[in-house]
């Protein structure tokens, strides 16, 4: 994995000493919540002999990429490489067990998940058998405590859907990976999510991640190479970096607090 992405795609505070301020209006119902978890399908090209494994339930070939995000819309984990036919729960078990980078919630903390996940330590899905999605409550308010829980759960868990939508809109390789050999196709996916965190952190006031981005320009160079593909010319990479700097804004690079 790219060192830059490894540094960017992780929690800024693994102890979760402070609960997210976004949960204040829902207290005490979700006081132990530290974020949301879900999978997203990202289109890839694979050799014919692997196409059945990578064909998802919609009929096209993809990876099923599992992600964790916090309520600041920052990805704290991205697990890549799993074929698109895999169920979200299988991907979760695989990554939670085998990937040392997976941020396991400490005791008393948990991630919100959709009904594709089972209820267990660290994972809180909605109450089964009840209305869930916010739009389902537009015409009729919650009728019991379980539906009220699901309504609040849905509002909070939506943060990861917004993260996916925003990141894919900004970085096209998160919709469809450039043509790479099978073993290399995870790299541009990591690059895209790392870029999202990179830009999003710099847009926020004094985000802790800013202090870990002293190598920002070299990081952009590395990510540009991943995003454009192995055949990109030096000039193409240079233009891509220039575009990245334009997105970030020169004030970020001249900020006297950047290297504190």
Task: Tell me, yes or no, whether 259 lies in a domain.
Answer: no
Task: Tell me, yes or no, whether 132 lies in a domain.
Answer: yes
Task: Tell me, yes or no, whether 129 lies in a domain.
Answer: yes
Mean pLDDT of the chain, nearest integer: 83
pLDDT band at 5 (very low <50, low <70, confident <90, very high): confident
Task: Tell me, yes or no, whether 180 lies in a domain.
Answer: yes
Higher pLDDT, 237 or 34: 34
**Residue 6 and residue 101 in contact, taking contact as beta carbons nearer than 8 Å:** yes
Q: What percent of the chain has pLDDT over 90?
A: 47
Number of separate domains in the chain: 1
Give residue-wise pLDDT tens across range 168-222: 998 888 988 878 888 888 988 998 898 898 888 766 655 554 544 445 556 566 6
Task: Tell me, yes or no, whether 199 lies in a domain.
Answer: yes
Range of the domain at 74: 3-254
The alpha carbon dihedral of 124, 192, 190, 48 has a sign of positive
* pLDDT for the residue numbered 250: 44
Give residue-wise pLDDT tens across range 111-148: 999 999 999 999 999 999 888 888 888 888 989 898 89
101: phi then psi, degrees, rounded to nearest 5: -80, -15
**Residue 46 and residue 183 in contact, taking contact as beta carbons nearer than 8 Å:** no
Task: Tell me, yes or no, whether 260 lies in a domain.
Answer: no
* pLDDT for the residue numbered 240: 61
Task: Tell me, yes or no, whether 125 lies in a domain.
Answer: yes
Phi-psi group of 229: left, alpha or beta (phi > 0 → left; psi -120 to 50 → alpha; rest → beta): left
Who contacts 119 (Cβ-Cβ below 8 Å, separation ≥6)? 125
């Amino acid at each position: 994995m790219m060192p830059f992405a490894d540094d960017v795609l992780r929690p800024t505070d693994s102890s979760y000493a402070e609960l997210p301020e976004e949960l204040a209006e829902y207290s005490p119902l979700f006081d132990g919540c530290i974020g949301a978890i879900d999978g997203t399908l990202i289109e890839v090209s694979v050799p014919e002999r692997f196409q059945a494994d990578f064909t998802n339930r919609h009929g096209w070939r993809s990876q099923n990429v599992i992600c964790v995000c916090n309520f600041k819309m920052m990805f704290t984990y991205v697990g890549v490489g799993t074929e698109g036919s895999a169920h979200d729960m299988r991907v979760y078990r695989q990554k939670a067990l085998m990937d040392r980078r997976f941020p396991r919630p400490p005791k008393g903390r948990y991630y919100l998940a959709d009904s594709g996940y089972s209820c267990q330590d660290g994972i809180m899905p909605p109450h089964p058998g009840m209305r869930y999605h916010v739009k389902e409550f537009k015409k009729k308010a919650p009728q019991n405590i379980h539906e009220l829980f699901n309504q609040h759960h849905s509002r909070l868990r939506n943060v990861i859907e917004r993260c996916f939508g925003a990141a894919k809109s900004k970085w096209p390789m998160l919709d469809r990976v450039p043509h790479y050999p099978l073993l290399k196709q995870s790299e541009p996916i990591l690059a895209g999510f790392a870029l999202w965190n990179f830009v999003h952190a710099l847009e926020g006031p004094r985000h802790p991640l800013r202090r870990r981005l002293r190598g920002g320009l070299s990081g952009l160079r590395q990510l540009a190479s991943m995003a454009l593909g192995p055949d990109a010319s030096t000039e193409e990479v240079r233009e891509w970096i220039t575009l990245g700097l334009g997105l970030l804004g020169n004030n970020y690079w001249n900020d006297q607090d950047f290297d504190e």
